[in-house]
């Protein structure tokens, strides 16, 4: 017989297991929801970053186009070209720093200075530079007239290539003084001495990132900064101007060329930078009560765009305030957690209700079939069981045995020790019977006041008698004192056994067992009938 407390404990444990499983499933759903939401957020931010990269590249292309338009316009001003040609001839004859060249250079400057100043005031341009070839020999820096005569063959490759191939080009380059976005056009004019079309040199129009980054930020709602590698800057720029342009950056890993906003260095310090400046994901940075996404991509100069084996000279750093997106993401995640917690609590309440209901049903079922004093099955359960077992034994032709037990002189026991001690004795006897019969897959029930009955399916009479005698011996071994007994000093049992295979027609299993119990009492009690002796 299944122990009722063990059954309830098993059900409690089952509810605990189910709750743990549901909690684990909830946690998995929360983790999966967080993972997918985070992945979606990162993907969205990465797509936005790639869009900003495309927007930046488009802005860069438009800037190069504008610089080329300006340099082309100037290269087609024949009055300026004639002055440039005269200066070139003077330089070839007297040297680039001669007085004759200085006079012609001043004339060219006077002609171009006023319209150039107006242009720089209205538009995002910064420099206009005339170069002589071959290579790149500075003839006139309109934006810095005092600096001329220096060769830039190893830094201004846009000029070198233009003078070599006599075709226009554009690109980003770092010069001796500063970096620029340049458009370079070849200059041709008619030589009045030969009346032939003659190549003179190149004119360069340039701007800087300082001019275009604020416009980019305003247009596309994203901040940008340009960082150059120290190796690139130190290789190309004069040390004097390196110190001027990048003061207080000597300890930095990269030089900040330009930025559309303050605070970029703090964000850069929190962004892992890859060696080749290739990034496949954004970095989310928390700063105060704001959140920023940072992203970067490589920056190639003019030579790097032509020769793909050359490394980038720096990188473009892009960041934007994504506080609303992050807060929405976190709000959504918190709401999901609250939803899962609420769902878990509802399920728990439901499970507890089910458990309570099951307990009540189990208690009701137990009370219907279990004897309240001894914990054995009651007479009602026995009556239903014996009917079922007799039908099964008849159908299968397997033996079915029955044992009836009666405590000897139990009325005397109660009279001597009282009913409270009598109840204790009944419980001890019942527990002993139960332990034995459970080893034989049998069922014990309380049949009457001090009578017990045991049903033994598929057990022949010989084995039933053996079991009965085991019960008798075990009860006697309890050594429950019984001073009023007429046969022993301790409590004893008399038992009667019957078996379906030993019945003749019209004989009743219960009646034969009861008759044998009567015989056991007649023959002196504390014995089994039929006897195994």
Q: Which has the closest alpha carbon to 168: 86, 307, 88, 75?
A: 75
pLDDT in tens, 248-286: 777 788 999 999 998 899 999 999 998 889 888 899 999
Please determine, looking at this structure, whether the domain spanning 379-529 carries the CATH number 3.40.50.1100: no
Here the tokens at position 356 are: 């309570």
| 168 confidence band (pLDDT: 50, 70, 90) | very high
Which stretch of 80-94, 166-180, 349-363 has the lowest confidence by average pLDDT? 349-363
Average pLDDT over the chain reads: 90
Contacts 24+ apart (CB under 8 A), 344-351: 344/22, 344/23, 344/26, 347/22, 348/19, 348/22, 351/15, 351/18, 351/19
**CA 517 – CA 497 distance, rounded (Å):** 7
pLDDT above 90 coverage of the chain, percent: 68
Here the tokens at position 433 are: 């019977």
Give 48-326's CATH code, choosing from 3.30.450.20, 3.60.15.10, 3.40.50.1980, 3.90.1300.10: 3.30.450.20
**CA 69 – CA 123 distance, rounded (Å):** 13
pTM equals 0.66
- Whether 300 has a pLDDT exceeding 90, the answer reads yes
Here the tokens at position 201 are: 């040199």
pLDDT in tens, 98-135: 999 999 999 999 999 888 888 888 887 889 999 999 99
- Report domain extents, the chain: 48-326, 379-529
| 1 confidence band (pLDDT: 50, 70, 90) | very low
Here the tokens at position 218 are: 């305003």
How many CA atoms lie less than 13 Å away from 298 in the CB half-sphere? 15
For the chain, how many residues are written?
Answer: 533
Can you tell me which residue has the tokens 């000029």? 159
pLDDT in tens, 211-234: 899 999 999 999 999 999 999 998
pLDDT in tens, 341-364: 887 788 777 777 777 676 666 565
Q: Which has the closest alpha carbon to 475: 459, 461, 454?
A: 454
- Give DSSP secondary structure letters for 360-410: HHHHHHHHHHB-TTT-SB-HHHHHHHHHHHHHHHHHHT--EEEEEEEETTH
């Amino acid at each position: 017989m299944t122990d009722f407390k063990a059954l309830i404990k098993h059900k409690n444990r089952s509810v605990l297991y189910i709750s743990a499983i549901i909690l684990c499933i909830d946690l998995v759903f929360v983790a999966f929801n967080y993972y997918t939401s985070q992945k979606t957020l990162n993907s969205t931010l990465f797509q936005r970053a790639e869009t900003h990269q495309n927007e930046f590249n488009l802005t860069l292309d438009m800037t190069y186009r504008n610089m080329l338009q300006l340099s082309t316009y100037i290269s087609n001003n024949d009055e300026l070209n004639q002055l440039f040609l005269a200066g070139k001839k003077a330089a070839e004859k007297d040297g680039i720093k001669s007085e004759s060249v200085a006079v012609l250079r001043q004339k060219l400057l006077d002609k171009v200075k006023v319209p150039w100043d107006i242009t720089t005031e209205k538009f995002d341009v910064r420099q206009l530079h005339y170069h002589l070839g071959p290579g790149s020999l500075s003839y006139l820096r309109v934006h810095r007239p005092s600096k001329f005569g220096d060769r830039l063959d190893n830094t201004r490759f846009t000029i070198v290539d233009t003078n070599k191939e006599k075709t226009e080009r554009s690109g980003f380059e770092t010069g001796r003084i500063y970096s620029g976005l340049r458009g370079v056009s070849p200059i041709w004019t008619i030589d009045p001495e030969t009346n032939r079309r003659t190549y003179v040199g190149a004119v360069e129009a340039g701007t800087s990132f300082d001019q275009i980054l604020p416009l980019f930020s305003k247009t596309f709602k994203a901040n940008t900064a340009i960082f150059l590698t120290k190796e690139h800057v130190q290789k190309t720029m004069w040390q004097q101007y390196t110190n001027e342009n990048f003061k207080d950056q000597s300890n930095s890993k990269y030089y900040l060329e330009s930025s559309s906003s303050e605070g970029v260095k703090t964000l850069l310090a929190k962004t892992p930078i890859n060696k080749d400046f290739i990034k496949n994901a954004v970095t989310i940075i928390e700063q105060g009560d704001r959140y920023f996404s940072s992203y970067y991509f490589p920056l190639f100069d003019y030579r790097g765009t032509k020769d793909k084996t050359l490394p980038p000279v720096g990188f473009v750093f892009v960041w934007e305030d994504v506080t609303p997106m992050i807060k929405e993401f976190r709000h959504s995640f918190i709401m999901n957690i609250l939803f899962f917690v609420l769902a878990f609590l509802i399920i728990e309440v439901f499970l507890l209700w089910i458990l309570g209901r099951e307990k009540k049903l189990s208690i009701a079922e137990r009370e219907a079939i279990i004897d309240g004093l001894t914990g054995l099955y009651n007479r009602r359960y026995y009556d239903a069981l014996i009917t079922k077992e007799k039908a099964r034994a008849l159908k299968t032709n397997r033996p079915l045995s029955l044992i009836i037990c009666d405590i000897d002189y139990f009325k005397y026991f109660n009279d001597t020790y009282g009913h409270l001690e009598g109840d204790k004795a009944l419980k001890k006897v019942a527990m002993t019977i139960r332990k034995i019969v459970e080893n034989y897959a049998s069922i014990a029930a309380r049949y009457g006041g001090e009578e017990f009955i045991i049903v033994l399916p598929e057990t022949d009479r010989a084995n039933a008698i053996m079991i009965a005698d085991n019960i008798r011996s075990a009860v006697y071994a309890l050594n429950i004192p019984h001073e009023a007994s007429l046969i022993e000093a301790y409590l004893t049992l008399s038992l009667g056994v019957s078996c379906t295979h030993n019945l003749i027609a019209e004989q009743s299993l219960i009646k034969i067992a009861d008759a044998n119990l009567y015989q056991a009492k007649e023959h002196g009690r504390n014995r089994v009938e039929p006897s195994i002796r």
